[in-house]
Amino acid sequence: MNAFLLGILSSLVTSALLLALSLLRASRPLWWLTAACSWFTGTGLRRVYRRQVSAEHTMSQDLAKAQWVKVMAGRGNILTREAFAPLWAGDVSPASVQILLPDPDTPHGSWLDRRSQDVARFDPGFTSALLRSQVRANIDYLIRVAHARPGIRMRSYDLPHTCRVIATDKVAYLTFYSDDAHGRNSPCLYARAPGLLYTIALQQFDTAWANSTEVSTTLR
């Protein structure tokens, strides 16, 4: 029994060390080591990007092969960038696209306001009104996209802003928001199915989806 516990402990320590090394270096030679450790521990972790924006090229490739896509974002700016452009242009056609964005019309003191307060600590030009307006702009953008592309559903939520989830039937990108950086500059975990991290990503999304409100995609 002691040997068994020591084996588990050693694998967890190894995973933590590899994760730390990947965050510090984020170099490609370490990715194979991270993947090997992931296979051993069952986490499904394949890569760690120091900044989420660095993952967007690979993300675009994964979206091009996706059968379905799920996105839970804290603002939604990534949905208007190049990573998602082939999806909206119709170059790829997954069976369904589900999008979760914060509700910009929640009362004062909502989780959206709390996130804006966190960001304002390191970005003094950031306000709750600005965040709400940016979310509204992204929702308007997606409504027009959904009008041209069938299979897109969008919902709004008022839940803790802790991470961004972008998942397909094969992979998941988890960006955990920090108190000192925008989401695009926060570390991003790249996980493949099957695996613990992939399962957690889907659970996070599905729980939020079940507690959200449908957004009409009718053109305003």
pLDDT at 181: 66
Q: Which of 142, 154, 171 is nearest to 55 (CA)?
A: 171
- Residue at 44: amino acid letter: G
The beta strand positions in 50-95, using DSSP E, are 68-72
3-state secondary structure of 64: helix
Global pTM value: 0.80
User: Average per-residue pLDDT in the chain?
Assistant: 81
Question: Which stretch, 52-56, 180-184, 188-192, has highest mean pLDDT?
Answer: 188-192
Angle among Cα 40, 199, 182 to the nearest 5 degrees reads 100
For residues 194 and 44, the answer to whether their CB atoms sit within 8 Å is yes
Which tops the pLDDT comparison, 108 or 67? 67
Question: Which stretch, 27-31, 192-196, 215-219, has highest mean pLDDT?
Answer: 192-196
* Per-residue confidence band for 212, with pLDDT thresholds at 50, 70 and 90: very high
Mean pLDDT of 121-149: 90
Residue holding tokens 């989401």?
Answer: 183
The beta strand positions in 38-194, using DSSP E, are 45-49, 68-72, 96-102, 152-157, 163-168, 171-176, 188-192
* Per-residue confidence band for 6, with pLDDT thresholds at 50, 70 and 90: very low
pLDDT at 142: 95
For residues 100 and 73, the answer to whether their CB atoms sit within 8 Å is yes
Is it the case that residue 31 has pLDDT exceeding 60?
Answer: no
- Ranking 46-55, 90-99, 134-143 by mean pLDDT, the lowest is 46-55
pLDDT at 205: 96
State how far the Cα of 114 lies from the Cα of 168, in Å rounded to an integer: 29
Q: Which of 61, 28, 71, 60 is nearest to 46 (CA)?
A: 28
Tell me the HSE value of 199 on the side-chain side, using a 13 A CA sphere: 6
State how far the Cα of 110 lies from the Cα of 186, in Å rounded to an integer: 23
Note the maximum CA span of the chain: 64
pLDDT at 190: 93
* Per-residue confidence band for 1, with pLDDT thresholds at 50, 70 and 90: very low
- Residue at 31: amino acid letter: W
CA 89 to chain centre: 21
What is the per-residue pLDDT across 75-86, written as a single tens digit (0 to 9) for each? 999 999 999 998
pLDDT at 127: 83
Class of domain 42-214: alpha beta
